[in-house]
Amino acid sequence: MGWALIADWSQQLDFIFKQDYYQQLLKFLEYESVRNKIIYPPKDQIFNAFDLSSFDNTKVVILGQDPYHNEGQAHGLSFSVPEGVSIPPSLRNIYQELESDLNIKPSKNGNLTHWATQGVLLLNSVLTVEKNSPGSHAKSGWVDFTDTVIDVLNEQKQNLVFLLWGTYAQQKAELIDQNKHLVLTAAHPSPFSAHKGFFGCKHFSQSNEYLKIHNQQPIDWTL
């Protein structure tokens, strides 16, 4: 079960694929497949975030935890769902904050591909999950992989924006040099916590102001 990253990501991350933990991760996923476990997202969408936001183009990183675990929801982009799928509660709250911050009316579409193609890396910390079993692949090796992605972005790029929502994502701040990059933290947009600091965080406008200051094209957050 070998997957390929697009060219510029592959150049940055090729060394990972030789690591023991990554080989163990592949064996784990193959074993789950042999046991007829249903894994989300589909195999050809696991690296969707990288396919849509190349290494060179990445300007903003929005870090999620693991993929949606219900049928038809996960497609390899954090917080996003395919077009035609009901918008999950956390994404509804993201849309609410967008409207408050930038007066962008909430979309009826939950597909965030438009963000990704502009250089928003919609990265989950864990890239696969078993159907109806949240967190089921949390110890499979994906965290080592995505922590290395953050390390490489931190070291090799300048003036990125990292949006870290919730306690889990905020733990990744220690991987980021805040003298080189902008790190914005807030409560998670989940209905359980959005009122504790996500609403009113204005991360979308702050991201664009930072990008403009550093002579980068701001993100068109409309959908």
Of 44, 66, 144, 177, which is the active-site residue? 66
Nearest-angstrom CA–CA distance, 207 and 218:
8
Contacts of 8 (CB under 8 A, 6+ apart): 54, 55, 56
Instruction: Give how far Cα 49 sits from Cα of 90, 112, 132, Å.
Output: 19, 10, 22
- Is 66 an annotated catalytic residue? yes
- The dihedrals phi and psi of 212, each to the nearest 5 degrees, come to -65, -40
Q: Which residues pair with 183 in a beta bridge?
A: 162
Residues serving a catalytic function are 66
